[in-house]
Chain A
């Protein structure tokens, strides 16, 4: 009996001890290794930093981020060995939550790990990500400069309590919603001027519908307005002044003079639906426009059937093809209800691209590495590669010729570009065709950010929005297609549609976004 008691007591003590051994945390202490703040290399004696990042693309010749020239170059510059763990987006989505549960598995740096706002707040407050405010102030003048010149980037990086746990990447060319027109179709139909307004577009399409616009001897085989569902909606909305980049379906809000409104019940939206219905009924809009994918659009484009579509910005087609085929990139259309041309663009930054682990042994060195990644020099290498190896600069003009490697997708950097946009476009013009530059100049002049997806919502706001948005979004999408196809009538069904939106609390959604808008833009 005594033996049994001693054994039981020993086992209990052992169990308790093993529990205590598992406890303990810490991390985020000061670096022991000597480092250089104002010069390169950052460290004189090599250290190894583990980096977790997302693979660029399995089919890209940029290939595995682990082998990319960028990290090798960065290593040579900083004197630091980078041990890269790169996973596809899919793998990262599964592995990241597991890695974040175990300090032993956590890397020193997170680059492009698809943290969203909820994750940043969760991991930041949960003690997995290092708070960067003090480090930025002391060691990161490049990052400080970026924030000073991009208040929206700072707004997107700071969470509700003022802490910065993750840094953004600036897009050198923000995503955009544009469309191109085939002037040859206009000429063949006797139309001398490229439409500049939605109404002129309608009139031109009605003429082209009854002409042999593509000049193949057959009337009526043309598809005048062709797109996949997302592009079609965003193109059309921009013509009446509704900024809609992402999301393009469901609940869409916009602002007029800083006052947020519910776009699907607005007068501009109704006006647009009227014109689109007229065009659809006349056979000017592709009847697959609500269901097809880009492959189908490209096939029709290559069949010379299209007057207006979005898939023509293909540098491989070349300037010569553009000239003979007749495609051009017009200024964005205006309309009777909106007289300022706009191109809806995505945000000029991606949130939460760079972050530091709370458990790193080298917090200051990590901050210095991030600061260098935000420098002009590192941003150019990140975006374009090494001069002479991946690209050469023509001396006659500023155009850059990219290496002709079919596996490298233009404009898609080896790692997310961490530099402000003005840094890269100041120095290099990466477009291979005059068309590409025309698109870029249009975007720079008319680009207007669709802010909906970028404002911060509190947890309560996000939950309430999720409750309300599903049914309301489905209702709006259903009626968008229905009004255009003629299933519903604008004369008889519009009021019922608006009443249903109000019943589904579209006004509450507007008030949620108004609060977020005011906070985001500092109103």
Chain B
């Protein structure tokens, strides 16, 4: 069989994976069984489709085949603890509040609900954050443990164990396969969005040190571009590099799926817009392995389609008038991407949006990013006065911001010291290279060696 044919089948499989595994979990009440029988179905597809042609409805073919394989496995494995599976199946088959409320028809509900149930299960607060990310990518994204391991720069056995433990916890603690009840829904949706944003950030910021990316909404909306592709020697292979961007694409894809499943939740739309707008600027963020700040980017390299869609989504959110942190951050990014040149940037509107953001999501990082915008309006001295008192000594962007403001105020020694501190704290080589260049541009002050 040709490589193209195999790849084509695997693409279909990946695209359908979430829907298929969710349906199998609902039917059989066992994640491992669902995964294994789906794997069997893929093998069968690779064997029969090239000869017999692709079936008219590949998803249905895979679903039926996988279900048959699952039944076969259950019959063969007579030692499987039937009571235990049954107990989980009981959890699964409880009446679903959404179905009962008629929000989804029985017909659509059977397909739509399952992915929604699965996404809430994978992102359950009782699971560790690492586990939620791994499980979401594995079950909904259809990535293999090896692919997830490579994307997060951990050894494959570590990632495999993380997945095994997560599934075991779901079983033993009795994490149910259901959509949360209405009272819990807002908090649980926030949890899902946080997981998706973590996945996106992992693919986008690609920290070398492996330290978790700070999950603060204010950070990524800053006027300063934080970083681009990870250029460290480990990631020089194009496969790893493209896999990191694949994570961004996967995060966006899953957020789109979530949006079709929860069309009335504006924060889901807000997150999608935010991701699209950030990613649209990616082509302009690096030049020769050095980070290019927002005000120096070649805006012709921005992805216009991504920006167009992001702007449309932001407008849709404004109409809903149920603002939230992701929507506000998306709006901030939209103000930037709306400007033809840096000088056209509507900084007053950005400050106003940060005022909104700090009201719903106060944090020192939001204050920091707001100060950057204020500096553009009222000058670096005013901005610096807002930045200094923030308790962010361990946060590289704080030092970078201080350094930049001090440089603009011609306080060279202090600026040099701040750049040195920022360089010491920054793991990303592209960003480091940028900071060194800025540092070298300052006269006076003995610097850390380039």
A and B interact: no
